[in-house]
Each structure stands twice: as structure tokens, then as C-alpha cells.
Amino acid sequence: MKEKLLKWKETLTSWWTQRTKSQKFIFFGSIFFVIILVAGLILFTSGKTFVPLYNNLSIQEVGQIKTELDARGIEYELQDGGTTILVPEAQVDSLLVDLAGQGIPDSGDIDYSFFSENASWGVTENEFNMMKLDAMQTELSNMIGKIDGIEDAKVMINMPEEPVFVDENSQTASASIVLQTKPGYDFKNNQIESLYHLVSKAVPNLPAENIVIMDQYSNYFDRDAQATQDLKIHIHTSNLLKRI
């Protein structure tokens, strides 16, 4: 074994001494390039943290979201049999707002599992629920603040107590939101509906009819009023076209 090693050493030494300076430079340069490339790939792949965007999705909604993510060139991962979609953490908030603007998804929930995973030991259930509620309100406020025409948002969520007995019907949550809107901004027809959709999906068991949204001047953003106004505009436009 020792003789084989010595023979290999002599062969390599002989090969190396026969190389020119330029060949030696290219050899070391190639090794250095490979090391930098491998280190860069490791840093790039390990630097991305994927977190859940939505969970409990239907197959149809998973397909809709995948199509949208593919069109934007955004990486994603699937879990839980394809019902949970994970995306890079830095893009979660913007995606939630954009998808809500398109009414996606109809079912599914925003995932807050990251909160329970990072909660410290020794916290009582009541303290945990309060911290989770606070985190939910803060996260929702940050998401709403990224919508065009909104500078800030104060969110208050009322979560019902969990039923003691299994056969008891679970109560629904409610939410009140005060928006700090930009002066003179005119919200588009679909923005109000998108806002209600986003809030409804951000809070478990929160139907849209249990959400109240108003601005800093106490003007209410009513979904029904918006729908009625849109219908009036449509009828008025149709009548004008008929006269022409």
C-alpha cells in the first residue's frame, strides 16, 4: 500500500513539474472558480425560506394559484398532499394582497403555523391565544397597508371562544378595521371586494358579513353599497346605449 502511494506521488510530481506556468495558473483558477460556484449555490439555496401561503385548498384552487405563480416566475413548494402551497417568505404579503384582488382562493386559509412553531415553552394557553391574536392583527394590518390608496390600517379581531363540547356549534369571528387612506384616492370597484376577501381569508372562521371597514373620516366601505352602485352604473350605461 505504501509503495502504491509513493508511486502515485512520483507520478503526480512528475506531471506537475512538466506543466507550464500558464497551465498551472489555469489549473488553480479552475479549482477556485468551482469552489466559488459551489459556495454561491449553497448560499443561494439555503438563503430562501419557504413558508405557507395558503392551506386547506381545493385541487382547482391549487391549480389557479400554481398558474399565477408560474406566470410570475415565483418558486413554490407543495405539501399536505398538494393542499398547502409554500412560497419564499419575502413574497408572502404581496402575493396575499395580489391574489385577494383576483378573488383567489374561494376556500383555504392563510397559514399561521409559523407562530406556534416559534412560540416559547411555558406559555399558558390563554397567553398563547392572546399573542397569536396580536400577531394576526399585526400581520393583517401590514398586508392591508400595502394596498394602493391605503397608508395604514388598524385591525381589531374578535375571536369566539372554542366550544366546550363537540356537539356545540362553533361561533364565527368578527373584525373591525379603520383605514388611513391617501387624500383624494378613489378606490376602484373591485378593491373593496378584494379587501373584504383578504380579511376573510386572513382570519379563521370569519365570514365577510362580519367585517366592518371604515376610513379615518368614519366613511364605511360597504360591500352591498358598492355592488348596488355598480349595478346602477351598469343600468344607466345600458339605458344610454339604447337611446343612442
> What digits encode the pLDDT tens for the residues 89-143?
888 878 887 887 677 776 666 655 555 555 555 667 777 778 788 888 888 888 8
Higher-confidence residue: 215 or 129?
Answer: 215
Angle subtended by helix axes 92-101 and 189-202, to nearest 10: 130
- In angstroms, the CA 205 to CA 211 distance is 12
Q: Which pLDDT belongs to residue 156?
A: 93
User: Is the confidence at residue 38, as pLDDT, over 70?
Assistant: yes
User: Highest mean pLDDT range out of 57-66, 185-194, 211-220?
Assistant: 211-220
Give me the mean pLDDT over the 144-158 stretch. 90
Q: Which of 180, 184, 177 is nearest to 223 (CA)?
A: 177
Strand, helix or coil at 47?
A: helix
The per-residue pLDDT for 236 is 44
pLDDT of residue 228: 42
* Side chain identity at residue 215, one-letter code: D
Query: What local confidence, expressed as pLDDT, does residue 113 receive?
Result: 55
3-state class of 238 per DSSP? helix
> Longest Cα pair distance anywhere in the chain, in angstroms?
104
Between 177 and 203, the more confident residue is 177
Question: Under 8 Å CB-to-CB from 34, ≥6 apart: which residues?
Answer: none
| Phi, psi (deg, nearest 5) at residue 147 | -80, 140
Alpha-carbon distances, residue 62 vs 111, 163, 207 (angstroms): 15, 31, 22
pLDDT in tens, 52-82: 888 888 888 888 889 989 998 999 999 888 8
pLDDT in the model for residue 82: 84
Contact 177, 86 (CB under 8 A): no
The residues, ordered by sequence, that sit 6+ positions from 161 with a Cβ below 8 Å of its Cβ are 171
- Exposure on the CB side of residue 16, measured as CA atoms within 13 A: 9
Query: Residue 163 above 80 pLDDT?
Result: no
| 218 or 224: which leads in pLDDT | 218
**Do the beta carbons of residue 23 and residue 51 sit within 8 Å?**
no
Give the 3-state secondary structure of residue 88.
Answer: strand
Instruction: Please compute the mean of the pLDDT values over residues 35-60 and round it to a whole number.
Output: 76
pLDDT score, position 211: 93
